[in-house]
Each structure stands twice: as structure tokens, then as C-alpha cells.
Structure 1
Amino acid sequence: MTIPNHQSDAQPRALRDPQNTARGLEESLLQGAPIYTEAELCEATGATSAQVNDYWQTLGLPNTKKEARVFTQADADAIKSLLDLAEAEQFDHRTLTSLIRSAGHTAERLALWQAEALVEHYAHNYGWDDARARQEFLSEFERMHTVFAQQMEHAWRRQMAALVGRWFVEFGPEKGVTRGPGQLPLPRAVGFADIVSFTSQTAKMRSSELSDFVSNFEAAARDVITRAGGRVVKTIGDAVLFIADDPHTGAEVALGLANAGRSEEMKDLPQVRVSLVWGRVLSRFGDVFGTSVNLAARLSDEAKPGTVMVDQDTAALLAEDPSFALIAHDEREIQGLGSIAPVQLQHAYKPGQS
């Protein structure tokens, strides 16, 4: 990025009083000053000391000294409202722990992601080193955080509404229960897209170049997946794990990823090997588990760059769809999964196509 001349001489705002700046930013983020010790928080909320400590640790925050005033009114409100809900709904300890951990884990990753994105913005726009960029973040974040908090709530509401909508379609009363004994609960298309030659491509990159490479890959892959109707489960360095609700959509996602790097619009998406498996999965902790996930991970290793591999059962389902063509490959041993004959998936050739 070219830095405009009028910006190149900009200087980060000095933290004239770092202690007061930090205190003010903390109180602004926490919506008030710390006013409770642990004992006082228990009295204000009706929680036990064990409940307060469990909540705090499960949220991913460091232990506090019992006599220290570290808890705010917002902390008290959050703990009381959650414990009231847990009592009303009869949540057991496992359920309550999972709900708290989901918020804490997501918020911790989100906070770091957003802070680093802003630091990178200051460093790139003004040509500052990392330390100067972080100083600017500390100086300026107080005027921004309300917007980020609003965006987080809005995104959560939108994502939850989308999930509810999908579940009404899939599990509404008219659908009935179609799960057999011992089966995992969710039928899903699961796939991986792995960057080709990731290690050799990134071995000589500087940290900023590596950051751009990984973030560009993730952004481009997410665009392809969501446009085709799939959903990103997670990114794992040089790979992305995705799911879709039916085999056809899963196939379109997989082929979209395999072919995207050839288009000018998606030139930031490096060449990938892609897999797809239809099967049942268990969804927990924002992730998916099951034999089909393991098989998809292995099949991506069997694919050539820019191609999609599926298993025979998935191929049998897609064979009924005239949109796709399937090419059988020789049977081979795949460690941990036995003998498998992968099938290459591609779009069916239509007369008039170049």
C-alpha cells in the first residue's frame, strides 16, 4: 500500500499519563469502576464463592485476590442474570460451563483479532513500527470500542437468527426424527481445502507477508464458501474446514474453492486441494466431529492441486445430479481408515462450453 505524503509524517499520540489512560480505558470498557471484592460480589448477586470463581475462570480470566476490588456492577449483573437463567432452566454444571466458555473463548479471540487488525492498520498506513502502532491503539481505542461492541451483538443476533431459520427447516415438526440408533445427530457435507505447498510458499516470507497471505486466503475462502451456500467451521493455518446442509451445495462449495484461484476476482485464493464427504457429524464447541470429518481430512491429501476428491458413498449420491461428473480412481490404503477408492468430482461438461 502506498502511504500518502500527508500521512507519512504523522506521529502516534503520546501517552502523557499512561496509568490514568489505562484506568480510563478499562473503566470505559467495563462500563464502570471496580467496586466489589469477591465477598461483596457474592452478597450482591446471591452467588457462592465457588460459583464466582468458576464463572471467572471459565470465562478465561486470571484469578483475583479475594480482598481486591476488581468486580464492576456489570460483572454483578452478568453473573446474576446467568445464574437466574440457569436456575430457571435447570442447567446442569456441564451445560452452564459450556455456555460460559463459548462466550469467553470467542470474546478472547475476537478481542485479540480486532486489536491486532487495528495495530496493523496503523503500522501500514503510517509506516510506524509495531511499538508505535500499539501505542496509537492504546491512545485511540476508547473512542472506538462502543461500535465494536454493537457490531458483536448485531453479528451474534444475525448468526443466531440464521441458525434458527435453518433448524426450523431441518427439524420442524413436519420433518419428524430421522436419526437411527447410534447415529450422530446432523447429516452434513463436510470438506477441507488445503493450500498447495504452503510450507515452501511461506518459508521465506516476512511476518507481515505471512500475515497478509494467511488473512487473504481465509477471507477469499470464506467468500467462496458463503456465496455457494456453505459455512466455514474453522481455519487451521493452511486449511479451511467447511460444511453444507446437502450434498449438492457441498459439491458446489468444493468445486468453487478448487476453481476460484483461476479467476481474477479470487486471485488472492491460492491453489488448493479439496475434499468432500457426506455423512453424520456431532457439532460441539463451534466445531464438528465424526468419521466423515476424519475421512474428508485424509481425502484432501489425495487430491491433486485444483481438484476435488470425494468418497464412494458421496459419489453415489452426486451421481444422480446431472450438474456433476465423477472420475473413479484406484483403490488405495489410507492410514487409519483402511482401503478407499477416491472419486474425483468436477462439473459436468455441457455442449457449447469452452
Structure 2
Amino acid sequence: MKISLVMATYNGAKYLNEQLDSIKNQTLKLDEVIIVDDVSTDDTSYLVEKYISNHQLNWIFIKNEKNLGYKGNFKKGLAHASGDVIFLCDQDDIWHLDKVERMVEALKNHPEIKTLASSFNFVDGQGKPFSIEQKKGYANQNLLHKDVIDEIERVDLSLVKITNFSQGCCMAVRKEEVEIFLKNTQSKYPHDWELNLIAAMQDGCYFYNVPLIDYRIHDKNTIGLDDVIHNSHKELMKNRTIKRLNYIDEEIELLNYLKRINIGYEYNKEYVENHILYSKDRKKYIKNKSFFSLIVMYLKGKYKGYGSFKTFVGDLCSIVYK
């Protein structure tokens, strides 16, 4: 089994050497390492070239002529990878030294796995560990809304469709899934999410409930803050309604994309087609302010399996404030 790794870099000089060390020192050596730099303006390219030269590594380093963005950069790296299993890697984390060995062993023992995502620990900008409060009924640092009992568990399409439960840097992907991705992707969705969706369509998306990387958090997140500061409550709710309708449109587009690629559709055909109908009805009733139609929809159990009581309440609020 040939093992590849694809790393995408962009202005990542500050933490790069620590990440590269954790790759080089793996207990199971990688057969192929491909690093693609997206026209960094700091010392990233210099540090990669110096590291490869100093350690006499046969790693492949590609420097883009123009900036492709993170989706395009990873796509380019994946197109160059030739391994049977391909690991995705960021530029600023620290891999546990047995990560590759443990995940490859799991893939060898479980041929049904098409994408495998490990768990992770948090570290700050200085590499110091920190933790967050774990929500009941969640796993993987609250990214996976599922009670996980076994060390390796399948993640259903219904969960992956809502949001990606794993960062790409925690994932190992079989070559066949990468080929499907490269053939079909329009780079609309994050590459890691799209790969998990393709695997989930075939009932082959799995979570490995063991932390195998230290995931570095080094920027403050202020997304959405301007809405709270600058908008009135009524305006904020109106904006949420617009976002809700946009989200439903994106959901329908995503489901139609999964139909179009027609990979593993036989496993999830009923779920996907019924979900499209459910989403179209939600959109229609919200746009038309059909308050009672949504109530009837909920009472008939049409939210079950595709949404929740919270989704239903949110839809009603969207009508009130629309």
C-alpha cells in the first residue's frame, strides 16, 4: 500500500518547521510527500526548500505561479498524488508520531472505510494544550453530533450533509475517492467536506475516535460580530431569514450535486430525493409566509430525519420576522 501526503501552504512560515518535523518523524514513513505553495509572500517557500535540502528528502515541492485559494491549492496537490491512501495536511499543526501508522492499520483492517477522520487535541499559538466544554451527545470536540461508542464508527450521510465533522488535516482518503472528487468537483465546497460527502454516499465515511494531531488555534474568530453590533433586532432577524433561505438553496444544490455524480446513490437514493422535496417545501412555505403549512408539515413528521424541532421553530420565526 503506497501512502501519500498532500500539504497546502500559504504564508505559514511561523509554525511550519514544527509541522514538517512531525511528518518526517512518523513511525510509519510516507512514500510520497507533496507540498504545494500558493504564492506565499513570507518565508514559507524558502523554509520548505531548506528543510527538504537539509534532511535530504525526496519530497515534491510545487510553487504555484498564481494564487489558487485553499480549495484550488489542495485540488492541485491531490491531482499529483499517486498513493493508495492519501493524507491531507495543513501547515501549522503537530501530528502525533504514530498518526500515519494507526490510520493506515485501520484502513487495512476495514476495507469498507473510504475516508477516515481521526479526532484531535487543541493547542494555542504557543503550542500549549487547552480544552473546551464537551456538549452532551457530541463527539470530536463538538464537531460531530453523535454519541460515539466504538473506536471506529461510520458517519451517516444525514450527519455529514449538515456540516463537515472533520478538518482535512485529520483525514486519510482512499485513492478511488480522490479520483471521484477530481472528476466531479466544481470547487464550490471545501475539499475535505466534499470528500466525506462522496464517501458517505457509499456508506464509507468513518470517524476514528482517537486524537492523532494537535490542532493549532492562533487567530481570534469574530465572524458575525458586526451583525450584533450594528443591526437592530428586527434587522438581525430579517438578515437571518435571508440567510436561512440561502442555506436551503445551498442545501438543495448540494443534494442535487450528490445525485449528479451518481456514486453510491443506491445506498441513499430515498434519503436524498425525500430531502430535496422537504427542502423545497420549507423554502416555499417560508417565502409565502405559510405559517400553518409549516405546522402541518411538522405534525406529519416531515421534519423527522432531515431537521429537528429547533429547525421547525427557526422556520416559524423566519416567517414572523420576514
Larger Rg: 1
TM-score clears 0.5: no
Q: Structure 1-normalised TM-score?
A: 0.26
Q: Structure 2-normalised TM-score?
A: 0.27
